[in-house]
């Protein structure tokens, strides 16, 4: 479970929240992305909208830090900076150490290496101003034809996946450097759909879901993961729609999944963020004017890849009309502020430079993980491979 805030952190949250207007609370619910904006654009946006969170993709480390220092200085409340640091601090294009993808990390199956990857990612990311990684992937690769989980999941066995997720989360979140974000609730990897292109479906019966995905989600919550990402994934059986799966809404637009299942049954108390707003898995099920409102009303605290101006205005209108309650807005803003306090952003949004010893250890961990991930698939009559043997790669045919 989440560790309690320290007294100083709790006081900071209370003081900031007490002084925030409703508009400032609404700003904490938005997380636009960087790809469309220059630094001048960001500074203009921050003058108009009290954005609370931002997402950055790949940039050189020094360039990113320079931009973020200017943006942090322009924001009265520290910005929470997010990125996809799934297998290392790879958004730092010129300096981030890349680790093997989760499939390979799962094949290596070494909890110490997973902790080392998390720790290295956190140290490098926080130095340049990242605070929130949309990782780890907590999905199960039950269907090898699933286009999302095939290389991004740690495996298909809940017990094995849990044994690797827990040290990875610990490495990411140790010393309050990065907030982990387990994704994609209620769980991808059952069907062969891509939520970037349509709403994907977790078609398991409820009891089987609890034995597989439910076990994983309970484990990461008990481990204290600071945030969870809701996917554009439906779970028809939970709503009695197993015979009519197309009627089931994705979790991002589904209050029973986000509130009843995740909050009330599983006991999650941290920040709940949506998957990206432009993905067809959500935007095919709502209108542009209603999507952000429906997502927040369904239980999300942060709307990912928001249009900072238009979506802010849509939330303002929803509160004014009574579609969205002020109490819910302030509750979500409190969760976001508590996450910022856990990460001590009010003290320093940046971290110390990673030293040579830490970098050397990170590279060694990545190399060892890659070596241990090599897996030989062979028929019984083929000779066993040993270290040093030369292998000629050929076509892999279905059997």
Nearest to 296 by CA among 348, 331, 320, 267: 331
Catalytic residue among 275, 301, 307, 311: 275
N- to C-terminal Cα distance for the chain? 45
CA atoms within 13 A on the CB side of 300: 30
What whole-number distance in Å separates Cα of residue 370 and Cα of residue 107?
A: 9
DSSP class of residue 239 equals G
Contact 124, 354 (CB under 8 A): yes
Helix axes 326-342, 310-321, angle to 10 degrees: 130
Residues facing residue 234 across a β-bridge: 201
3-state DSSP helix/strand/coil percent for the chain, to nearest 5? 45, 10, 45
Strands (E) located in the chain: 30-31, 53-55, 80-83, 132-133, 181-185, 200-201, 227-230, 233-234, 271-274, 303-304
Rounded to 5 degrees, φ, ψ at 107 are -70, -35
**Which residue is listed with tokens 């803003």?**
333
Strands (E) located in 47-137: 53-55, 80-83, 132-133
Annotated catalytic residue 275? yes
Residues designated as active site: 275
């Amino acid at each position: 479970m989440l560790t309690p805030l320290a007294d100083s952190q709790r006081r900071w949250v209370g003081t900031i929240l007490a002084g925030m207007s409703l508009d400032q609370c609404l700003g904490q619910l938005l997380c636009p992305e960087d790809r469309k904006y220059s630094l001048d654009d960001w500074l203009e946006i921050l003058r108009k909208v009290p954005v609370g969170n931002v997402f950055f993709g790949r940039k050189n480390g020094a360039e990113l830090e320079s931009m973020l220092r200017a943006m942090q200085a322009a924001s009265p409340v520290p910005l929470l900076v997010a990125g996809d640091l799934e297998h290392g601090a790879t958004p730092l294009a010129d300096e981030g150490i890349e680790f093997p993808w989760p499939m390979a990390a799962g094949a290596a199956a070494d909890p110490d290496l997973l902790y080392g990857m998390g720790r290295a990612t956190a140290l490098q990311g926080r130095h340049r101003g990242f605070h929130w990684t949309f990782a780890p992937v907590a999905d199960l690769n039950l269907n090898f034809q699933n286009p999302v989980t095939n290389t991004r999941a740690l495996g298909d066995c809940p017990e094995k996946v849990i044994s690797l997720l827990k040290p990875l989360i610990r490495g990411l979140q140790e010393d309050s450097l990065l907030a982990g974000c387990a994704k994609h609730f209620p769980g991808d990897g059952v069907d062969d759909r891509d939520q970037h292109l349509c709403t994907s479906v977790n078609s398991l019966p409820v009891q089987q879901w609890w034995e597989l995905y439910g076990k994983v989600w309970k484990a990461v919550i008990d481990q204290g993961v600071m945030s969870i990402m809701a996917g554009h994934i439906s779970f028809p059986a939970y709503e009695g729609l197993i015979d009519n799966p197309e009627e089931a809404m994705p979790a991002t637009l589904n209050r029973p999944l986000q509130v009843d299942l995740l909050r009330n049954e599983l006991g999650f108390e941290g920040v709940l963020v949506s998957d990206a707003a432009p993905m067809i898995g959500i935007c095919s099920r709502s209108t542009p004017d209603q999507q952000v409102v429906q997502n927040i009303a369904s239980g999300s605290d942060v709307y990912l890849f928001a249009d900072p101006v238009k979506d802010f205005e849509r939330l303002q209108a929803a509160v004014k009309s009574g579609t969205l309650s002020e109490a819910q807005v302030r509750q979500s803003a409190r969760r976001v502020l508590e996450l910022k306090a856990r990460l001590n952003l009010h003290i320093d949004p940046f971290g110390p430079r990673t030293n040579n010893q830490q970098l050397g250890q990170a590279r060694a961990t990545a190399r060892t993980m890659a070596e241990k991930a090599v897996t030989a698939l062979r028929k019984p009559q083929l000779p066993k491979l040993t270290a040093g043997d030369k292998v000629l790669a050929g076509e892999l045919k279905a059997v």
